A and B are shown apart, each in its own frame.
Chain A
Amino acid sequence: MHHFYLLMAMFLFLTILVGLLRVFIGPTTADRMLAAQLFTTTGTAICLLLAEALQLDGVRDTALVFVILSIMAVAAFVRRLVPKDPGGES
């Protein structure tokens, strides 16, 4: 049974590799950031599958850290590239 979870994790890893094309050819930085966001979710799924396949409970905590870091990355990206607040000027 755990072979299936390992194969599934490998398949998700392949989708990450294919999706890297969008990071290379993405015309804007927003496209690249969206691709990275998709990779984070895929990485979370890979961590959960590996935790079940290898019976490692700590890997689930790693998945949780992935999620929290991803939202921090997006928040930093938006703050860095938009200097002024949308409704800030009174």
Chain B
Amino acid sequence: MTIWDIFSILFCLAGGVFFLAGVVGMLRFPDAMSRLHALTKADNLGLGFIVFGLCLRSLAVPVIIKLLLIWLTVMLASSTACYLVGNYILQKAEDRPKEN
């Protein structure tokens, strides 16, 4: 086991901790807006740590580039999705007093 393997294990464990925190926040936070916050942390940092840990392990440059591109796509997708869902929540909160 080389030093890179140890670093890879550490980074993957850190990513797992962030995913666990995301699920716990998803279950424990009171409303949808704060759950949005828990979701983005797991998306960006959890997957980021795991991708970095896997990059340390793999030796081929195309694989590393593909992993980084997947991470960038996830960050782009998650920030867009969080904007869309947050906008939806806000709009529904504005519509509700009119209905009552």
Contact = CB atoms under 8 A, between A and B. Distances in A.
Interface of A: 1, 4-5, 8, 11-12, 15, 18-19, 21-22, 28, 30-31, 33-35, 37-38, 41-42, 44-45, 48-49, 52, 57, 60, 63-64, 67-68, 70-71, 74-75, 77-78, 81-82, 86
Given A60-B63, A60-B67, A71-B81, 9 more contacts: A8-B13, A22-B35, A38-B39, A41-B47, A60-B70, A74-B80, A74-B84, A81-B88, A82-B88
A45 B58 contact: no
B39 A48 contact: no
A37 B59 CA distance: 31
Nearest to A86: B91
Interface size class of B (residues with CB under 8 A): 35 or more
Question: Is the contact region of chain B dominated by helix, strand, or loop, or is it mixed?
Answer: helix
Interface of B: 1, 5, 9, 12-13, 15-16, 19-20, 22-23, 26-27, 32, 35-36, 39, 42-43, 46-47, 50-51, 54, 57-58, 63, 66-67, 69-70, 73-74, 77-78, 80-81, 84-85, 87-89, 91-92
